[in-house]
Amino acid sequence: MALRLDGIAVAASIKADLKSRVAKLAERGVHPGLGTLLVGDDPASSRYVAGKHRDCEEVGIRSLRRNLPADADADRIKTEVLAFNEDPACTGFIVQLPLPDGVDANAIIDCIDPAKDADGMHPYNLGELVLHPKGELRTPMPCTPRGVIELLRSYDIDLAGRRVCVLGRGITIGRTVGLMLTRNDVNATVTLCHTGTADMQRHLREAEVIIAATGRAGIVTAEDVAPDAVLVDVGVSRVKDPVSGKWRIVGDVDPAARAKAFAYTPNPGGVGPMTRAMLLKNVVEIAERSNT
């Protein structure tokens, strides 16, 4: 039976450790604070931001919320970003995406102080990740790739020298996870597949680890998976159940593929909780680095 990599349980352990670290910071008069900027009232974004603040409460991180209406223009959004940059109570913050049509998300992210970039997605911090493959990084790291690696490590899955196939070239995971997987402390060999890849199934079958992040339900089938591969399912799709008529969340990996795997992440309940835990970890680490 394949090993189920329980992101909920591992995230809970990480948050317990963070709660202890936050308490130690508080003894020194340091109080980490996570800021969120939400533009509009998209239900999924609203739920996601609310979950982040519940996580903050759980570990003792202060919550700072800024909400703007859906018709807020780029200048108004930038004003709020700059306010977070200057707010001493804010250790790190995120701008919840997507932003309204017509607003350049990259231009908004560029305005974030890299030292307060809780998502680890500012161009400066991504550049640090590119330039420093060795040693300790002292800048925030992308949450989802970091969550993937920490989840695998928590189950003693060593990636050194392993052939890893990444599906999808989005910035949130596809392009950034390769940077982290090829750091010296991980040392994996990475193949990045996308819509222009010829014979993608061959790359999948040759992989010892598959990280799927396309948002295409069930794109990784049992026929695509080598025996005893590790399957990391990051994709999120909403599909309608043909029997109940209700919508449900599914991943990129067909559940039938799990039978051939050595280990797999459930979806939901795998990478998602780890991403949220890494956001908190970034905030706590920023506070620790700033007060050493």
Report how far residue 1's alpha carbon sits from residue 188's, in angstroms, rounded to the nearest whole number.
25
Select which of 15, 55, 96, 116 is catalytic. 96
Report how far residue 98's alpha carbon sits from residue 10's, in angstroms, rounded to the nearest whole number.
28
Report how far residue 81's alpha carbon sits from residue 111's, in angstroms, rounded to the nearest whole number.
7
What average pLDDT score do residues 271-276 get?
A: 96
* Amino acid at residue number 205: R
∠ CA 11-15-19, nearest 5°, is 175
Report how far residue 82's alpha carbon sits from residue 108's, in angstroms, rounded to the nearest whole number.
10
> Which residues, 6+ apart, have CB-to-CB distance to 40 below 8 Å?
68, 69, 70, 72, 100
For β-strands 237-240 and 247-250, DSSP reports them as: antiparallel
Q: Are 178 and 149 in contact (CB under 8 A)?
A: no
Select which of 52, 224, 252, 254 is catalytic. 52
With cut-offs at 50, 70 and 90, classify the pLDDT of residue 44. confident
What average pLDDT score do residues 20-40 get?
A: 97
Q: What local confidence, expressed as pLDDT, does residue 245 receive? A: 84
Task: Based on the residue annotation, tell me whether 96 is a catalytic residue of this protein.
Answer: yes
What average pLDDT score do residues 145-153 get?
A: 98
- How are the residues of the chain apportioned to helix, strand and coil, as percentages rounded to the nearest 5? 45, 15, 40
Q: DSSP assignment, residue 115? A: G
The 10s digit of each residue's pLDDT in 108-119 is 999 999 999 999
Q: Are 31 and 25 in contact (CB under 8 A)?
A: yes
Indicate if the pLDDT at residue 292 is higher than 80: no
Task: Based on the residue annotation, tell me whether 201 is a catalytic residue of this protein.
Answer: no
Select which of 55, 116, 117, 119 is catalytic. 119
With cut-offs at 50, 70 and 90, classify the pLDDT of residue 4. very high
Task: Based on the residue annotation, tell me whether 78 is a catalytic residue of this protein.
Answer: no
> Which residues, 6+ apart, have CB-to-CB distance to 153 below 8 Å?
none
The 10s digit of each residue's pLDDT in 216-260 is 999 999 999 999 999 999 999 988 888 888 888 899 999 999 999
Report how far residue 233's alpha carbon sits from residue 258's, in angstroms, rounded to the nearest whole number.
11
